[in-house]
Structure 1
Amino acid sequence: MGEEGGGRSCGTTRELQKLKQQAMEYYRENDVPRRLEELLNSTFYLQPADVYGHLANCFSKLAKPPTICKVVGKNVLDGLGLPTLQVEIFCTIQNFPKNICSVVISTHFEVHENASPELAEAEELERLDAVSTAVQWVNETITEELQGLVPSNQAEVDQVLRTFFENKVQEDKERKELEKNLKDSTVLSPQSPPPPPPPPPPSKKKGQKQGRMETAAEKPIIPAEPPEAVLCGSMAIGAVSLAVAKTSAMLDNNPLYLNIALLKHHQEQPEKLTIPLLMVSLVSCGKSSPGKLNLMKEVICIPHPGLTAKQGVEMLLEIQKHINKAIEMSPPPKPEMKKSHDGGKRGQSKGKYEVMMGTYKSAAEMVDLYVDLINKFPSIIALIDPFRKEDSEQWDSIYNALGSRCYIIAGTASQSISKLLEEGNVSILKYSGLIIRHTNQTTMSDLVEITSLIHGKKHIAVFGSTEGESSDDSLVDLAVGLGVRFIKLGGLSRGERVTKYNRLITIEEELGQNGTLGFNEEHTFFYWNKEAEKAGELPEVPEPIFPTEVAEELAKL
């Protein structure tokens, strides 16, 4: 027993000596004695608490950088009370785990007006499944794969997330193929006899002329493309990428928009940052709106670029008051005989667009209608989704007719960010700009890449929010950091929207105080219109109008 105790004592002594030797080497390599001497000399007249604080700061610089230790996904509610995903990031800081931040991502699901109970129930189940799957991905595989990574290395994090998603896509493809093979093998049907030959066409009498309908047959309508497939759970990728970016910003004591700007400019801090112009929805023209017109889904107002964001919001609130008064004084709309479930989007009947109740126009006639509209109201500086994305010829026609007089912007008519990046082409249709959104598997690296592609093509980028929003205001920081031209946040109502407008005003004030607020010369579209006016392409541009006059102009529409 004594020998055993002696053996333990010797072993303990050797271990202590080894640790002491390692400590001496560490001190010598990091020149700790000199650091302590300098620190003590510089803090001789400080209080002991101050000395301890300086010592803590000194040793914290020698500690390992914070690393991700856990990622947590939760099912929370968005601004409409519908389920969506929240992601929290925990980091190991000086050997202790700490909750750094959380983000909430918006879902890609649209909010349909007057939807049938069956459709509403099916979409509710699909949404719940998407969120539940995303929570499972985050809490199982993603948190394991991100453990030990440094949050500041956004490219590495996004690559891990991208690889994980690609594996999920492959798994889903293999599962569907297996289900199809099982279905084909279990459903055995006897060979059916060949169908009877079609009856011969009726013989045409001698001298009979071909009918008018055959000679003047209308051009076949291009069928609508199927919606792009969204993998269930994909919102986990975008949410985690955003959460890591926000974590990195907080650990560096930076605002998120600055870290996004550094990411876009290859870690070189830009001298100036610009505030995107507001696109504010003033009138909604959905199926349940009073005085609706199928031609328009919403009327958006853009403040003059010479105004600050705060001044623009104040002016738009005043305009909104006058619009509400004008709508209250207008006669009630006539009752509808038929219900529609297309959520306020322009429908087509026999290949024609319904511009008003019972009034249909062909795609070619729509080009003339838009030209007349711009001639009558030259203050209209942008058209969003004037056509279906399938009507590519009309996109060419309207761009050629109005491209020098207003922006032609693709929103729902555009492909998703992942599809655009996969093809490496943002100019599939002829337009001035694109509306981009942070949804599904879109990472921070994807946003940087897509905005670089858009700017490289001399197009404008509009950063938009989805219909199912949350109070998370991170997308405002993304818009500022990415340097987009416009930001589309919806109307000046509801807490989750107002929070984002307030965040934009706060960022503008911060940039103004530290001298980094820039002015984007490309915002001067009013001067651009004046150049077109001199060239004889435009009628005279009217002087700036007051809120009451804006309301009157909108009432005429």
Structure 2
Amino acid sequence: MEADTDGQLRREAAEYYRSHRVPQRMEEALNALFPLRPADLYGELANYFSKFSKAPVICKLAGRKVLDGVGQPTLEVEIYCTIKNYEKRICSAVISSHYQIPEKALSERTEADEKERNDSVTTAVEWVNESLNTMLRDLKPTDQCEIDKMLGEYFSKKVEEKKEIEKEEEEEDNTPSLTSCAPSAVALSGQKKEAKAGKKPSTERTIPPAEPSESVLCGSLAIGATSLAVARAGASINRIPLYSHIALLKRNQDSPKEMTLPLPMVTLLSCEKCSAAKLKLVKEVMLIPPIQLSLKQQPSPQLADSKKGRARQKEKKDSPPALKRVSHLGCLITGCDNLEQPLLLMQTACNNIGLELGTDMYLAINCAAHELMDYVKGKYEILTGTFKSPDEMVDVYVELVNKFPSIIALVDPLRKEDRQQWNNVCCALGSKCYLIAEDAATNTSKIKADQNTNIPMCSGIVLKYVNQTKVSDLVELSGLLDGQRHITILGSPDGESSDDSLVDLAVGLGARFVKLGGLSRGERVTKYNRLLAIEEELAKNRTLRYDANFEFTDFAEESQPEKQGPEVPAPPQQDSAPAQLSVPALQGHSAPAQLPESSTLT
């Protein structure tokens, strides 16, 4: 009976082949499947014919307004693809808000920011559901570069439209528009007052005014969110993790044999600049684990068996609970009266659990110096009533790092306008710690538009995925930084969301650090958990590699040959210079032609 059935099936199949002109190789393949049992046959046929199905293409984009980690509106983009003639939801991506959260702002300013944010998200939702939905339909989500190029052209078109509208409005008004930077106006007024009073000679060097903040186009969130959603869809269709997909994009589809994990900068303390305490210089105190340990490994406390340890534990039990406030960065808020106090607090806390700063753990400080400048006095207010000139700030940092050698990174120690002082602090401390530019940087759109944009000398810069930033922009910019041997840090903005794609971007791009905030908010802890999951996966696949140690640059030595070159011929020892250094100096103002003004993608 079974033989008759098989014979009938073969005859029917042969007749079907002849009538439909099925290729011979497919006929042979099908004939080889007939000896299988029916249950196995159907599965084999499905798998075989799926190889000839059309590649998945985008059929729909859906944008909606959602809330970020601090309850403010932001954008989510969903991608639907046509797979084997069926519409299927592939993934979604939520982009972080680019708006900074001020510690102390007037109610009028807060209301204006909220209205601007709502308008921007509403416009972004319209872009996604209308223009971008039509523009990207029938494109393959794996064609990241092509889609990002189309997104960039669309954004440029919107920018031009806005300029034309502003130009028409200006012509209608027929009134000259006088635009000036507020800080510079205040600085000039302060200089006039000092000149009239005659307290200081007119030969005193004036500080450069702050550069006006670059305006953000309303709706620009749609570009970044769509690009990120496409990257996630491409990874899902290729059945690989997002970090592997990003690594393939950066290396032109050449799969890396080994991958390193970025070291987390874990924010533990936030020193409010508007608190009643005196200290203003330190915005964040961050902890960096040693390179030799995996993220899951933690040094075990050595005090449990000692009398000293038991005594300290008893003191903790007897002491009343401290009042704790948690910042939007996910860390404890505290007020300090001097620069050493938060560092001594960290040192004591580590000693209490048997850790040694500088060996078991390291420190990084986010100075956020751009928030401290008093433009009337032309100085930084590092403590309440205590002001330091840009030159004096260099001495402050040199003394601080020499006293606390466990500090291996300073973020934004100066404004980006104080370029000479950046040079000075790099030459003084570059061989001991990283000098990182976060706010002292500009966005990727300006970098890509002008490769000659000047930036201060620094060890590396912080990249943030916000606004019109595209995945291709990060790939291109990180490659440029690698070419200049600068470290790349992926940073989390103030208005963070629960989307953990930032960690995959950091791993795929090969970032040196990832700056995620603290461990007390869900949207930030989610990213730390993702980092742990990636480490476990890479270790299981035997593709995880740990760097040997921290590598700093002696900026002073690297600038030495330029000064002595005309007088002394190049010494033969030059070949024996430390080849492992990964963070060379930008030589003052000669670097801009090679490295863009930076990368705070805001």
Give the TM-score band, short-chain normalised. Answer: 0.7 to 0.9
Q: Deviations over 1:371-398 (max 9, x none)?
A: 1001101111111101111111111111
Q: Which residue of 1 aligns with 2:496?
A: 469
- TM-score, reference length from structure 1: 0.79
Q: What is the letter of the counterpart of residue 432 of structure 2? A: R
Q: Which residue of 1 aligns with 2:505?
A: 478
Q: How does 1:419-434 map to 2 (within 5 A)?
A: 419-425=446-452, 428-434=455-461
Q: Which residue of 2 aligns with 1:346?
A: 372
Residue 507, structure 1, aligned to residue 501, structure 2: no
Q: How does 1:130-209 map to 2 (within 5 A)?
A: 130-184=120-174
Rounded Cα–Cα distance in structure 2 between residues aligned with 1:70 and 1:255: 23
Match for 1:281 among 267, 292, 303? Answer: 267
Q: How does 1:266-305 map to 2 (within 5 A)?
A: 266-287=252-273, 291=277, 293-305=279-291
Q: Which residue of 1 aligns with 2:569?
A: none
Q: Deviations over 1:215-247 (max 9, x none)?
A: 453212211110012111111111101101100
Q: Which residue of 2 aligns with 1:518?
A: 545
Q: 1:215 to 1:284 in 2, by over 3 A?
A: closer
Q: Which residue of 2 aligns with 1:56?
A: 46
Q: Deviations over 1:424-451 (max 9, x none)?
A: 2576210000000111111111000000
Asked whether the equivalents of residues 490 and 511 of structure 2 are also in contact (C-alpha less than 8 Å), the reply is yes
Residue 32, structure 1, aligned to residue 32, structure 2: no
Q: Which residue of 2 aligns with 1:536?
A: none
- TM-score, reference length from structure 2: 0.73
Larger radius of gyration: 1
Q: How does 1:243-322 map to 2 (within 5 A)?
A: 243-287=229-273, 291=277, 293-311=279-297
Rounded Cα–Cα distance in structure 1 between residues aligned with 2:19 and 2:227: 38
Asked whether the equivalents of residues 65 and 93 of structure 1 are also in contact (C-alpha less than 8 Å), the reply is yes
Q: 1:314 to 1:488 in 2, by over 3 A?
A: farther
Q: 1:35 to 1:401 in 2, by over 3 A?
A: same
Q: How does 1:385-534 map to 2 (within 5 A)?
A: 385-425=412-452, 428-521=455-548, 523-525=549-551
SS of residue paired to 2:163:
helix
Q: 1:24 to 1:454 in 2, by over 3 A?
A: same
Calculate the aligned-residue CA RMSD, in Å. Answer: 3.2
Q: CA deviation at 1:410?
A: 0.2
Q: 1:182 to 1:313 in 2, by over 3 A?
A: farther
Rounded Cα–Cα distance in structure 2 between residues aligned with 1:405 and 1:462: 18
Asked whether the equivalents of residues 286 and 292 of structure 1 are also in contact (C-alpha less than 8 Å), the reply is no
Unpaired segments ≥5 residues, structure 1: 1-19, 188-209, 316-320, 336-341, 532-557
Asked whether the equivalents of residues 256 and 477 of structure 1 are also in contact (C-alpha less than 8 Å), the reply is yes
Asked whether the equivalents of residues 74 and 87 of structure 1 are also in contact (C-alpha less than 8 Å), the reply is yes
Q: 1:169 to 1:212 in 2, by over 3 A?
A: closer
Rounded Cα–Cα distance in structure 1 between residues aligned with 2:526 and 2:393: 38
Rounded Cα–Cα distance in structure 2 between residues aligned with 1:211 and 1:283: 42
Q: CA deviation at 1:186?
A: 12
Asked whether the equivalents of residues 79 and 230 of structure 2 are also in contact (C-alpha less than 8 Å), the reply is yes
Q: Which residue of 2 aligns with 1:371?
A: 398
Asked whether the equivalents of residues 295 and 355 of structure 1 are also in contact (C-alpha less than 8 Å), the reply is yes
Q: 1:300 to 1:326 in 2, by over 3 A?
A: farther
Rounded Cα–Cα distance in structure 1 between residues aligned with 2:241 and 2:299: 23
Q: CA deviation at 1:344?
A: 9.8
Q: 1:415 to 1:39 in 2, by over 3 A?
A: same
Q: What is the letter of the counterpart of residue 496 of structure 2? A: E
Q: 1:292 to 1:437 in 2, by over 3 A?
A: farther
Q: 1:68 to 1:302 in 2, by over 3 A?
A: same
Q: Which residue of 2 aligns with 1:206?
A: none
Q: Which residue of 1 aligns with 2:363?
A: none
Q: What is the letter of the counterpart of residue 223 of structure 2? A: I
SS of residue paired to 2:291:
coil
Q: 1:314 to 1:167 in 2, by over 3 A?
A: farther
Among all aligned residue pairs of Structure 1 and Structure 2, give the percentage whose two residues are the same amino acid: 50
Q: 1:163 to 1:384 in 2, by over 3 A?
A: same
Match for 1:72 among 62, 85, 90? Answer: 62
Q: How does 1:356-367 map to 2 (within 5 A)?
A: 356-367=383-394
Q: CA deviation at 1:181?
A: 0.8
SS of residue paired to 2:118:
helix
SS of residue paired to 1:37:
helix
Asked whether the equivalents of residues 398 and 429 of structure 2 are also in contact (C-alpha less than 8 Å), the reply is yes
Rounded Cα–Cα distance in structure 1 between residues aligned with 2:176 and 2:530: 58
Q: How many residues align?
A: 470
Q: CA deviation at 1:527?
A: 12
Q: CA deviation at 1:53?
A: 1.5
Q: CA deviation at 1:314?
A: 9.4
Match for 2:219 among 216, 233, 246? Answer: 233
Rounded Cα–Cα distance in structure 2 between residues aligned with 1:447 and 1:22: 54
Asked whether the equivalents of residues 271 and 336 of structure 2 are also in contact (C-alpha less than 8 Å), the reply is no
SS of residue paired to 1:381:
strand
Q: Which residue of 2 aligns with 1:95?
A: 85
Which structure has more helix as a fraction of its residues? 1
Rounded Cα–Cα distance in structure 2 between residues aligned with 1:160 and 1:108: 22
Rounded Cα–Cα distance in structure 2 between residues aligned with 1:102 and 1:402: 43
Q: CA deviation at 1:39?
A: 2.7
Q: Which residue of 2 aligns with 1:106?
A: 96
Rounded Cα–Cα distance in structure 2 between residues aligned with 1:412 and 1:506: 30
Asked whether the equivalents of residues 423 and 457 of structure 2 are also in contact (C-alpha less than 8 Å), the reply is yes
Greater displacement, 399-408 / 501-510: 399-408
Asked whether the equivalents of residues 434 and 552 of structure 2 are also in contact (C-alpha less than 8 Å), the reply is no
Asked whether the equivalents of residues 385 and 409 of structure 1 are also in contact (C-alpha less than 8 Å), the reply is yes
Q: CA deviation at 1:350?
A: 0.9
Asked whether the equivalents of residues 84 and 105 of structure 1 are also in contact (C-alpha less than 8 Å), the reply is yes
